[in-house]
Amino acid sequence: MHTTLKNVFGYDEFRPGQEQPICDLLAGKNVFCVMPTGAGKSLIFQIPALLGSGLTIVVSPLIALMSDQVSALKLLGAPAETLNSTVSPEDNDRIWNSVRSGVTKLLYMSPERLMAAGTLATLRSLNITLVAVDEAHCISQWGPSFRPEYEMLVALKTHFPSAPIIALTASADEVTRGDIAAKLFAGDVNIYVSGFDRPNISLAVTPKQSWKSQLVAFVKTRKGDSGIVYCLSRKKCEDAAATLNSLGHTALVYHAGMDKFARDENQKRFVRDPGIIMCATIAFGMGIDKPDVRFVFHTDLPSSMENYYQEFGRAGRDGDVADCEMLFGMGDIRMRRQFIAQDGSGEAETRRAHKRLDRLIAYCEAPTCRRQALLAYFGETSKPCNNCDVCLDPVALKEGTREAQMVLSAIVRTGQRFGPAYICDILVGADMQRIRDFGHDKLPTWGVGKHLKKPQWQSIIRQMVAAGFVHLDVAEYGGVSMTAQGKDLLRGAADFSYRPMTMKAAKAPRGTKTKQAEQSLSEAEMDMLTQLKTARSTLAQEQNVPAFMIFHDKSLRDMARRRPKNISDMSSVHGVGKAKLDRFGDVFLQVLNG
């Protein structure tokens, strides 16, 4: 597998978290990988597919994503195909012949296409050695991105009992992971959670004042960068793009109300052309394989931590510095609550949606490092990151240990099973029949918090959740309970400070940071890098593929530093495999030694 890694993909070593899952798949074991965007999930099934004796089926939700991955694999010399609604009858016959003859090693399909009776009948007669399910969070009804067509995949083991299955996703909390493991694998699976941190992405949340002027200020120093601007409504997408275009940026629109052809064309342009800003609703982004997105800007609050993580995670997939900024206003909370109420979901799902939103609001109000609050949601701990607005520009916090102890006392005395709103009612001494029915108006904590209003108590509880003192149960009834950290706080062995409910004035953007990876290049190396990028752009146009599919920026930087003299030297450059060496090596050597 190390030979394949070098010869096909051009890499000398695996990234953290890749090698053991590959070994498991080669040993016939089921695998479930939760890895950050850009961490190299696809390689985990692609290498076993190329080493296997039969066919690997890859399930993916989007035609554009499948087409891009197959194009990238073909450039590497890997025999891959995709069957989807855009494939002509002639190509359909050609692909099936290639599959039956054993030439094709990876076949990409949507879940609907795979689970069609005719497709299953044909595939069952073939040697299926692996099934890969990408964007696996779509399987779980516990997750915020559930797709009904993905639920059909729970029958995969029945249809292909001898083939190991790998599920992959970048965002799944503990509840969602458990649901996927149960549904897809009946618990028979090795689960690898490689961490959720994306340390190269700077995180910031700014109080919303005038979204349009705040967006303009943010992109002012980012002309020529690729970015995504997420908007809650179609009209806002159109307004954002028009504003940016009037200022000399190149901005496109993507939302469900557009003509499908226009939408697809805009997506292709975004992926293939440099320096484009896509103004989009959440309909855009899943599986977008563009490594050099330098920023993501949210004009509105997303619906959950998972969706926020997925959306800002589309930036900086190449590992270079990227910025993520979110505008947050009280009106956003009201709008999101209305959306949940109007969704028409069952009581349990509506409750979960509200609790997911509560956790995101807690993140927005976090008094401490944002990355710590984000990772805590996914069950991880970290030190302060020094790469978020709270770390870089701390706000004045208010000492709140006494208030936090009041909250914890109310939680414990009411049995650690009620939601935040009820705890707030206890603290402010609300005269409610429900409180009297439980006898909670007789508790010593009833009414001890009358010095603050209920919204202020709600904010404090959200911040306590974000800081890890209180646990909010998303999966069940939304009750709050005290954590081990909270016990220390209640007995006086820890302190708590909170961010008061005030909207601070918007600050000027911190400005684009110079790409860290290019800071070490000399002037001559930077000049050479520019020439290499020009050559790459020409080749990409000739091949009709995005420039990064020829070579990533990291490979070009390595060329500029090493200045290889011949094909042998070029083979040691990062990301230069045999097929690309044969196909493009001479072109880049000519630039390097011209």
The helix/strand/coil state of 278 is strand
Query: Rounded CA gap, 69 and 309, in Å?
Result: 22
For 201-392, which CATH class? alpha beta
Question: Residue 95 to residues 82, 107, 114, 160: CA-CA distances in angstroms?
Answer: 8, 9, 15, 21
Residue 38 has pLDDT above 80, yes or no: no
Q: Do the beta carbons of residue 214 and residue 327 sit within 8 Å? A: yes
Q: Residue type at 356?
A: R
For 2-193, which CATH class? alpha beta
- Which of 529, 491, 356 is CA-nearest to residue 412? 491
∠ CA(277), CA(282), CA(284), 5° rounding?
55
Residue 56 backbone phi and psi in degrees, to 5? -105, 125
Residue 328 has pLDDT above 90, yes or no: no
Average pLDDT over residues 251-278: 91
Q: What is the pLDDT of residue 502?
A: 53
Q: What is the pLDDT of residue 403?
A: 96
The helix/strand/coil state of 350 is helix
| pLDDT tens-digit readout, 217-229 | 999 989 899 999 9
Q: What is the pLDDT of residue 67?
A: 84
The helix/strand/coil state of 302 is coil
Query: Rounded CA gap, 508 and 1, in Å?
Result: 49
**Of the candidate ranges 52-66, 99-113, 435-449, the one whose mean pLDDT is the lowest:** 52-66
Query: Rounded CA gap, 343 and 233, in Å?
Result: 16
The structure tokens listed for 551 are 């070579």
Average pLDDT over residues 74-84: 92
| pLDDT tens-digit readout, 267-297 | 889 988 889 999 999 878 665 778 889 999 9
Query: Rounded CA gap, 199 and 388, in Å?
Result: 10
Residue 330 binned pLDDT confidence (cut-offs 50, 70, 90) = low
Q: Residue type at 52?
A: G
Residue 503 has pLDDT above 50, yes or no: no
| pLDDT tens-digit readout, 403-442 | 999 999 999 999 999 988 899 999 999 999 999 999 999 9
Query: Rounded CA gap, 44 and 33, in Å?
Result: 9
Residue 54 binned pLDDT confidence (cut-offs 50, 70, 90) = very high
520-593 and 201-392 share a CATH fold: no
Q: Do the beta carbons of residue 391 and residue 385 sit within 8 Å? A: yes
Q: What is the pLDDT of residue 166?
A: 96
For 401-495, which CATH class? mainly alpha
**pTM listed for this prediction:** 0.72
Homologous superfamily of domain range 520-593: HRDC domain (1.10.150.80)
Q: What is the pLDDT of residue 287?
A: 57
Q: Do the beta carbons of residue 501 and residue 430 sit within 8 Å? A: no
Q: What is the pLDDT of residue 504?
A: 43
Residue 519 binned pLDDT confidence (cut-offs 50, 70, 90) = low
| pLDDT tens-digit readout, 523-569 | 889 999 999 999 998 998 888 888 888 998 889 999 999 999 999 99
Burial 337-356 (b: 16+ CB within 10 A, else e): eeebeeeeeeeebebbbbbb
Q: Is the dihedral of CA 305, 311, 313, 316 positive or negative?
A: negative
**Of the candidate ranges 134-148, 157-171, 387-401, 436-450, the one whose mean pLDDT is the lowest:** 134-148
How does DSSP classify residue 155? G
Q: Where are the domains of the chain?
A: 2-193, 201-392, 401-495, 520-593
